[in-house]
């Protein structure tokens, strides 16, 4: 009956070992998949480099998306937050604050800043010249071509403007 005195402390020690050991054991077992956790607006140097002074709020929103925090009391400031945690490791957090003067971008502050060098991004688009091609007649053109007897009359009708009808001021036409 001596073990009954130590039962609560044994339970507490066992629980503590299990709680700390589970995360250590689960992270070290090969084949256990841990997901990458990405939260907020994805912010990187390429996106920030696209920002220019005096851009409108709409243009900034097109590049970076809607701000994570748009405080109604500070409508001149937009905050973008981005957090990523890969493979259950340490969490990396980035923050960028944009300041506006009216509707135009006045400043950028935060973990990522625009580069001072001009950004020249090579185009990944390719231009291809296509040769001229003769289009076949459509099925409608082929069918109407079979049944039209007088092509000259239809061509004249298309060329001549329609004559206006004489104006009749009476309400009834008799």
Task: Tell me the per-residue pLDDT of 57-70, one tens digit each, with 9 for 90 and over.
Answer: 999 999 988 888 77
Instruction: Confirm whether 137 is domain-assigned.
Output: no
Instruction: Confirm whether 16 is domain-assigned.
Output: no
Q: Are strands 77-85 and 91-101 parallel, antiparallel or unpaired?
A: antiparallel
Instruction: Confirm whether 144 is domain-assigned.
Output: no
Question: How remote is the C-alpha of 130 from its chain's centroid?
Answer: 31
Compute the distance between CA of residue 116 and CA of residue 121 in angstroms, rounded to an integer. Answer: 15
- Find, among 42, 114, 116, 106, the residue nearest to 78 by Cα: 106
**CATH number, position 52:** 3.30.1450
Instruction: Confirm whether 2 is domain-assigned.
Output: no
Q: What's the pLDDT at 171?
A: 45
Instruction: Confirm whether 47 is domain-assigned.
Output: yes
Tokens of 102: 């009216």
DSSP string, 73-89: S-TTEEEEEEEEE-TT-
How many domains would you assign to the chain?
A: 1
Tokens of 108: 């950028």
Task: Spell out a b/e string for 141-169, using b for 16 or more CB atoms within 10 Å of the CB, else e.
Answer: eeeeeeeeeeeeeeeeeeeeeeeeeeeee
Instruction: Confirm whether 104 is domain-assigned.
Output: yes
Q: What's the pLDDT at 58?
A: 92
Range of the domain at 94: 33-110
Q: Is 174 helix (H, G, I), strand (E, B) or coil?
A: coil
Instruction: Confirm whether 132 is domain-assigned.
Output: no
Digitized pLDDT (tens) for each residue of the chain, 174 residues in all = 566 677 777 777 777 766 665 556 656 666 767 777 778 888 888 888 888 889 999 999 999 888 887 777 878 899 988 888 887 778 888 888 899 998 899 988 888 777 776 666 677 888 888 788 777 778 888 888 787 655 555 555 555 555 555 555 544 444
Instruction: Confirm whether 80 is domain-assigned.
Output: yes
Q: E strand or H helix at 96, and its extent?
A: strand 91-101
Ramachandran region, residue 152 (left: φ > 0; alpha: ψ -120 to 50; beta: rest): alpha
DSSP string, 98-158: EEEETTEEEEEEESS---SSPP-PPP-----PPPP-PPPPPHHHHHHHHH-S-HHHHHHHH
Q: What's the pLDDT at 4?
A: 67
């Amino acid at each position: 009956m001596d073990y009954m005195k130590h039962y609560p402390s044994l339970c507490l020690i066992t629980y503590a070992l299990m709680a700390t050991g589970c995360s250590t054991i689960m992270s070290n077992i090969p084949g256990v998949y841990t997901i990458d956790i990405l939260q907020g607006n994805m912010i990187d140097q390429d996106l920030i480099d696209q920002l220019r002074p005096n851009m409108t709020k709409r243009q900034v929103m097109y590049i970076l998306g809607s701000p994570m925090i748009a405080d109604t009391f500070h409508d001149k400031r937009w905050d973008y937050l981005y957090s990523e945690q890969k493979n259950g490791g340490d969490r990396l957090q980035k923050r960028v604050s944009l300041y506006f003067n009216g509707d135009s971008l006045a400043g950028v502050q935060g973990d990522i800043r625009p580069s001072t060098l001009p950004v020249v991004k090579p185009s990944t688009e390719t231009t291809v010249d296509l040769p001229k091609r003769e289009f076949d007649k459509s099925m409608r053109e082929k069918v109407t071509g079979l049944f039209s007897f007088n092509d000259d009359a239809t061509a004249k009708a298309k060329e001549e403007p329609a004559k206006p009808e004489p104006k009749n001021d009476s309400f009834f036409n008799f």
